[in-house]
Each structure stands twice: as C-alpha cells, then as structure tokens.
Amino acid sequence: MDIHEYQAKELLARQGVHVPRGGLAYSPEQAAYRANELGGSRWVVKAQIHSGARGKAGGIRVCKTDQEVSEAAETMLGRRLVTHQTGPRGKLVSRLYVEEGVDIAQELYLGFVLDRKAERVMIVASGSGGMEIEEIAEKEPDSIIRATVDPGTGMQQFQAREIAFGLGLETALISKATDTIMGSYRVFRDFDASMLEINPLVVTKDGQLLALDAKMSFDENALFRRPEISELRDKSQEDPRETFASDRGLSYVGLDGNIGCIINGAGLAMATMDMIKIAGGEPANFLDIGGGASPERVAKSFRAVLADKNVEAILVNIFAGINRCDWVAEGVVKAIREVGIEMPLVVRLAGTNVEEGRRILSQSGESVIVADTLAEAADKAVAAWRAVKSKAA
C-alpha cells in the first residue's frame, strides 16, 4: 500500500526528520489561503498522487504570488496526471500540498528497501539526488552508497555516520544527517514499510537538512497490526479492479489484455499468462484465488474479473492440492448462475477430486469449455476469444 507525500512527511517528522512547512488544499481558494498562512515569497504547489516524476508531468509548480498558487491549483485539481509510472490512464489529482519554498544548496538521495535476497533492510544513498535511483545508477554508479542492517541489532549510529560521511557532507552537517538517517530507519521499521525514499534530501543555503520529497510503501500483510497506516489508504489512487479484489481478500493485478484469468497459486498464474501469450492472446489480469477456495470465493473471483470491461473470455486453471476441484466446479456453476457470464468460459481442472469436479461441470447444463492440459486450455481460450471478436466484426 502506498501513501501520499504529505502523509509520509508527517510520519518522518514524528521521528525528528526535518521537513519544509506545508499544508493540504482541496481547492484553489484553500491553496491560496495555505500560501498566505505559510508566509514568505515563494511556494511550491504539489499534486498528491501515488507516483514519482510529477514535476515532468506538470504536477509540481513553483509560485511567487498567491494568485499563481490559485492558478496552479486550478490547473491541477480534477485532472488526471500522467507520468511514466502511472501508465496512460494516469492518476486523479484530488488534493494538493502547498509547501514553503527553500533555497537549495545540494540535493541528496536516501532510500530504505527490503533486500529479500539478503533478508535485510538495505539503505541506499547518493550525493546525486533529484533524479530517480535508476538514473543515478546509470549515470553516476560510483556515487551510490549501500549498507545493510542486521535484524538482530537494528541500525547503529556508526552506520548512519558512515553513510553521512560517504555523502561528502560538511562536518557541521554530519550530526544532522545521522539523526535524519536514524529517524528515517525508525519510521521504516516501526510501521512495517517495504520502501521509504527521500528524494531529494536537500541541504539548504542556511545549513538545514530537509526531506523535500518522500515516498512510502507498506507491507499489506502487516496492515492488520497497523490501523493508523491503514487509515491513510487512498483508494482513488488505486486501480479500481485491484481495489475491488483486495477488499475481498483476492490477490489481483490488472493488466491490459482481454482474457481474464482465475488461477490458484502464483507460479501457476504466471505460467498460465505465459501460455496465453504463446497462444497469441493477452491476459487481462493476474488473479490467485489462494489455496482454500470455497465456492463463494470462486464466485467472488469471477466478479472481480468481470469488473474489467475489457475482458472478453475467461480461463479458469486450477491444480488442486489444498483446494478441491469439486469446490471450484461448484463455484464456477454458482458464478454462471448468479453473476451471469455471457462470454466464453474455459475451465481446466487437475488434482484432488478432479473427476467429481468435471462431473459437476458436465451435468450443470451450463456452457463451459473443458480442457485437460494448460496448453490446451490456453489454446481454447484464445480461439474462443478470437471467435467472439470475429463475430463482433
């Protein structure tokens, strides 16, 4: 789960990380009021969406008068901001963050991420902030500093100091940078974050160290013990298909194809999507119904897939171990009768109670295309989809 920049800054500020003063605005008038409230002669109006590269897309504007602030807000609010991270659909701008302008002397990069291979928290830092870490790695790979945290002891002060010195900061800033790094680590650790990025972390001309931008993502499996973080969720920034599925306990990722997938097991789901592409089709989603799918859960999966208006055929591929094929078959029949499926439906069952599952499907009287193997199922799903397309043409 991602949160907005202003929310991440609030969490960082609690742990002593210094951030510029700012305020939230939902209208042009409120944005201008925030600027007057902050005072000064320069403000930055920032669109609050779950994406980086906002500045390149017109989502960050530097303003010198409250009239400019109001005009910037008028331009941003209510529009979809498209960046290379959002895809062509973009993200809706429904709130802005108006922040005081600062005089920047140096830009740095600071990030925390879970290194799953090393099973450690990894800190990534660079003296070249203001651009994405991929750009830094490509253009200035020698500037990147990496360090890992021992989970038994947590991050130590000496590690933070080593990173601060590695950034080439002046001696007077080492203590501030150490406190910033330690505070950021505590936020990452205490809220079960999976990623924290401060980019840029800036040194101002008057010698302050400020988190000018911040992004955070959290482990959704830990949200049950972090209700404060759960409340920060903004569903308007999420793919509505994925939101619908996640609210019903389903693992779903929306894609751009036309063949909906209902599968148990992430590995089998990936293999099924590959087979669909080999057969000449495009999967519309990744959907893993999990290991203990009841008929009701299978029916929910169909509703999630059908929420995507681009879906023109459905492929159900179940290899039952913990699952049972008869449960899945009952769920398929239940979905057909309750939801109303008017598109081609291909079902491939294998494993526990497979014969009973096939019997339920064959005796249901519903229009179901049965397949014995994954390759056959993919071929039949793509062929059925093409037949629908040719009829429509």
Per-residue pLDDT at 293 exceeds 70: no
Selected catalytic residue, list 197, 242, 312, 330: 197
pLDDT tens digit sequence for 98-137: 999 999 999 999 999 999 888 899 999 998 887 788 888 8
Type of residue found at 176: K
How do 345-351 and 313-320 pair as beta strands?
A: parallel
pLDDT tens digit sequence for 298-322: 888 888 898 888 999 999 998 887 7
User: Distance between CA atoms of 104 and 95, rounded to whole angstroms?
Assistant: 26
| Helix 266-278 with 374-392: angle, nearest 10 deg | 50
What average pLDDT does range 17-24 have in this prediction? 96
pLDDT at residue 393 in the model:
66
Which is it for the CA torsion 87, 263, 290, 339, positive or negative?
A: positive
Annotated binding residue 107: yes
What average pLDDT does range 224-250 have in this prediction? 84
Q: What would the two tokens of residue 288 be?
A: 């893993």
Q: What would the two tokens of residue 390 be?
A: 């040719």
User: Distance between CA atoms of 359 and 362, rounded to whole angstroms?
Assistant: 5
Separation in Å, CA 84 to CA 44, 130, 191: 22, 16, 28
Phi, psi of 316, deg, nearest 5: -105, 120
Find the radius of gyration of the CA atoms of the chain: 25
In terms of pLDDT, which residue wins out, 132 or 1?
Answer: 1
User: In the chain, pLDDT over 70 holds for what percent of residues?
Assistant: 99
pLDDT at residue 311 in the model:
92
pLDDT at residue 292 in the model:
62
Mean of pLDDT over the chain: 91
Q: What would the two tokens of residue 111 be?
A: 């990030």
Phi, psi of 84, deg, nearest 5: -70, -10
Annotated binding residue 238: no
Buried b (16+ CB within 10 A) or exposed e, 15-37: bebbbbebbebeebebbbbbbee
Annotated binding residue 213: yes
197 among known catalytic residues: yes
Secondary structure (DSSP) of 271-287: HHHHHHHHTT--B-EEE
Per-residue pLDDT at 87 exceeds 90: no
Listed residue (111, 137, 115) closest to 199, CA to CA: 111
pLDDT tens digit sequence for 157-209: 999 999 999 999 999 999 999 999 999 999 999 999 999 999 999 999 999 99
Alpha helices in 118-258 (DSSP H): 133-139, 157-166, 171-190, 227-230, 240-246
Annotated binding residue 135: no
pLDDT band, residue 291 (cuts 50/70/90): low
**H or E stretch at 361:** helix 354-363
pLDDT tens digit sequence for 67-77: 999 999 999 99
Q: What would the two tokens of residue 137 be?
A: 């790695």
pLDDT band, residue 338 (cuts 50/70/90): confident
Annotated binding residue 99: yes
pLDDT band, residue 138 (cuts 50/70/90): confident
Listed residue (95, 110, 29) closest to 59, CA to CA: 95
**What domains are there in the chain, each with its CATH number?**
21-100 (3.30.1490.20), 104-230 (3.30.470.20), 240-392 (3.40.50.261)
Selected catalytic residue, list 109, 185, 252, 330: 109
pLDDT tens digit sequence for 344-373: 999 999 988 999 999 999 998 888 999 999
pLDDT at residue 250 in the model:
79
pLDDT at residue 299 in the model:
83
Annotated binding residue 235: no
Q: What would the two tokens of residue 180 be?
A: 């910033």
109 among known catalytic residues: yes
Per-residue pLDDT at 334 exceeds 70: yes
What average pLDDT does range 260-276 have in this prediction? 91
pLDDT tens digit sequence for 43-64: 999 999 999 889 889 999 999 9
Per-residue pLDDT at 266 exceeds 80: yes
Helix, coil or strand: residue 251:
strand
